[in-house]
Structure 1
Amino acid sequence: MTTPRKTRVAIVFGGRSTEHAISCVSAGAILGALDPDQYEAVPVGITREGRWVLASGDTGQLAIRDQTLPEITAASGSSVVLAADPTVTELIVQDGLPSLDGVDVVFPVLHGAYGEDGTIQGMLEMAGIPYVGANVFASAAAMDKEFTKKLAAAAGIPVGPYAVLRAGVSLSESDKERLGLPVFVKPSRAGSSTGITKVTDWADLDTAVAKARQIDPKVLVEAAVVGREIECGVLEGEAGGAAEASLLAEIHVDDAEWYDFETKYLVGSRYSIPAGVSEDIARRVQDYALRTFDALDCAGLARVDFFVTDSGEVFLNEINTMPGMTPTSMFPMMWAATGLEYPKVVDRLIRTALRRGTGLH
């Protein structure tokens, strides 16, 4: 009697974006959560230069230690290539070693550009390999904060005042009057709070825009919304059912001026799950989260972030189609509080991806 072949899951992480390190930490957590009786993990790291390597999968090397961030380099393993050819699902090892057998599904744990923005999703569609998460369009639309806001607003989901500065464009005086101070200046297509500046004096605007444009030539200037930071996790329904919303989380930034990179990943922040909001507000946030998921045609998973003002108004902040999956990330913690532990979340995401496959749906 032959032993059934395990499902081969390629965990792809690292990448060329500014969120390289957080992707590595997320991948380490996912590798540790995979059921070894069901899945064979194939860890594939992408260096900051874009080289794909067959990584060791040592979860200890993919953790933040003493505020030192992990990184994938060319020395992390043998070079591999995934052909964009639906008749070839093997990972081709370039260093004279035998190629790996076919990959059944890819878990692209890539945050930011060249991963969460539809690029790798397009390659996987070309290759005909199922993958966890949103499709090409939804990934691109959710990554670009301008189009997230436009699609959400069209679906009746409240968004705060903002202005878009494309390359070479400056903020007009009328926009300054409309937005008021303070404002947040951020790259349109980035995450993990990288490149963001809080501006309280218009004299500092140009410096903030230049900082954001080091990451993305298109910049958003958003009016500050004074309120609580509330997040909601969304999972695609099982067996084709409706998507589900998690319990809510509230972020308490305490001494930090806002929820920046250091507060998220290095210093740490307090949080409450479930969030201490009224039942009415909780239902509205969950409803808006599910509607945002649908408005962008998302799949698999998302974390949807909101601001809730003291008067009870709810505004969409952003949606992440591949949210942080680190041990301290809100998405897995919200689902654990809802009753779905981390390994079950990972298993559900993989099964959903395999059922959905590739192509139009």
Structure 2
Amino acid sequence: MTKAKVGIIFGGKSAEHEVSLQSAKNIVDAIDKDKYEVVLLGIDKDGKWHLNDQSSYLLNEENPKLIQLNKTNKGVAVVPGESSNQLVNTSGSDTLSQLDVVFPIVHGTLGEDGSLQGMLRIANLPYVGTGVLGSAVSMDKDIAKRLLKEAGISVANSVTFTKNKRNQINYQAVKEKLGLPMFIKPANQGSSVGVSKVRNEEEFYAGIDDAFLYDHKLLVEEMVNGREVECAVLGNEDPQASIPGEILPQTDFYSYESKYIDEKGADLAIPADLSEELTKKVQQASVEVFQTLNCEGLARVDFFLKEDGELVVNEVNTLPGFTRISMYPKLWEISGISYPELINKLIELAIDRHQRDAQLKSAVWED
């Protein structure tokens, strides 16, 4: 049986580079080697692509704080417009073997914001996950909130600021609108990068400055008192929701360290301790959010569950972490889909969408 060639793209220039390395390692370890041949395409922090060998693509791979991409002298470039052999080895003149599908696991900016997805679409390569539009709007917390509110879906109250109007940001005005404590978040980051919990004026302006290090736009958001419930969604035109899970932070809030480095930073209750009625409500709401934001393939939808049973969307992650302590694969494992099977389903969904898109006419008149 001929193995399908799966290109795993990982790393990237975002603040979530190290998370991506961990996710890639777990996918490579778990993927069905009898069914798939893995081609590793690592992106360093400067944005250069490397063709990596499976035996040596990571340095310090067992240490989340020190993990690094092992850079090679085999550069890679993408040639758009080709029907095959879209990848070229820039250290030579040869093209690389044709990929059957790409699994992009580049978290954060330039990875899950539609940029990489657009490049893969132009290169005519099937890829796992949400397309250009869904990736872009889901990544931008401000735009995602606007779309969800338009659809009648509850989101936390917030105000948005851009860096060019930094001098117009007023602590007292924001405090009167949102109360204390509140959260400051870069609009286009994930994994709690650049997020600050604010209790006073000094923390407010420090949080503003920190968030603007990561993005030109930020949100200041009210604190919603509620349980942190998450649900994984899988599918294209007919998405399915997993059993919900609950985050039980052991720190002040569910920070980057809690998610990816400190295994004691949070407890994951899977399944969440919910009634059957609430479980169905979370699952239905997750699918509704998924479809509202034009997601495909996979996404994790995060909610706050208030005491009165109201669900408030926190955020949507279209390329959730695939590390060994990540919620997305754990939710599906408890729901009955093992890690290797989940990878297989995502690849099948990518190919199915690509074949479906290929049936669309691209011109009014054919040559």
TM range (shorter): over 0.9
Alpha carbons of 1:234 and 1:227: their partners in 2 closer, same or farther (altered >3 Å)? same
- TM-score using structure 1 length: 0.93
Structure 2 matches for 1:279-358, cutoff 5 A? 279-357=276-354
Match of 1:131 in 2: 127
Q: Please, which moves more after superposition, 209-218 or 150-159?
A: 150-159
Q: Which amino acid aligns with 1:171?
A: I
Equivalent residue, structure 2, for 1:199: 198
Compared CA separation, residues 64 and 193, structure 1 to 2 (3 A): farther
Tell me how far apart the structure 2 counterparts of residues 59 and 198 of structure 1 sit (CA, whole Å).
39
Deviation at 1:147, TM superposition (A): 1.1
The answer to which of 58-67 and 327-336 deviates more is: 58-67
Structure 1: which 5+ residue stretches go unaligned?
none
Report the equivalent of 1:171.
169
- Aligned position for 1:251: 247
What amino acid maps onto 2:169 in structure 1?
A: L
Give 1:85 deviation, angstroms: 2.1
2:180 counterpart SS class: coil
- In the alignment, does 2:136 pair up with 1:140? yes
1:275-318 alpha-carbon deviations (Å, 9 max, x no partner): 01222222221111100100011100000001112232210000
CA-CA distance at 1:60 after TM superposition: 8.4
Aligned-pair CA distance for 1:49: 0.3
Q: Contact between 1:186 and 1:197, CA under 8 Å: does it hold in 2?
A: yes
Which residue in the other structure is 2:97 paired with?
101
Calculate percent identity across the aligned residue pairs: 39
**Cα contact 2:22–2:64 (8 A) shared by 1:** no
Q: CA RMSD in A?
A: 1.9
The answer for the alignment partner of 1:184 in structure 2 is: 183
Question: TM-score normalised to the size of structure 2?
Answer: 0.91
C-alpha contact (below 8 Å) 1:23/1:109 kept by paired residues: yes
Amino acid of the residue matched to residue 288 of structure 1?
A
Q: Secondary structure at the match of 1:336?
A: helix
Inter-partner Cα distance in structure 1 for 2:287 and 2:66: 33
Q: For 1:242-301, what per-residue CA distance to the aligned partner results, in whole angstroms no more than 9, with x for missing partners?
A: 2100001111112x0000011111112211110012222222211111001000111000
**Structure 1 residues 139-194: Cα deviation after superposition (integer angstroms, max 9, x where no partner):** 00000001111111112211011011112334355443110111100100001111
- CA deviations over 1:217-255 (Å, ceiling 9, x no partner): 100000011111110000005xx5x2100001111112x
Q: Please give the secondary structure, in 2, of the residue aligned with 1:247.
A: coil
Q: Secondary structure at the match of 1:54?
A: strand
Q: Which residue of 1 is the match for residue 114 of structure 2?
A: 118
C-alpha deviation, 1:332, in angstroms: 0.2
Q: Secondary structure at the match of 1:267?
A: coil
Counterpart amino acid of residue 350 in structure 1 = I
2: CA distance between counterparts of 1:5 and 1:323?
30
1:260 and 2:258 aligned: no
Contact 1:116 1:321 in 2 (8 A): yes
Would the aligned equivalents of 1:25 and 1:62 in 2 still touch at CA under 8 Å? no
Question: Where in structure 2 are there 5+ consecutive unaligned residues?
Answer: 361-367
**1:257–1:152 distance in 2 versus 1, CA, 3 Å:** same
SS at match of 2:5: strand
* SS at 2:69 equivalent: coil
The 8 Å contact of residues 34 and 346 in structure 1, kept in 2 or not, is answered as: yes
* AA partner of residue 257 (structure 2): E
The 3 A distance-change label for structure 1 pair 328 and 76 is farther
Counterparts of 2:73 and 2:246 in 1: how far apart (Å)? 39
Aligned to 1:52: 49
- Given residue 135 of structure 1, which amino acid in structure 2 is its aligned partner? G
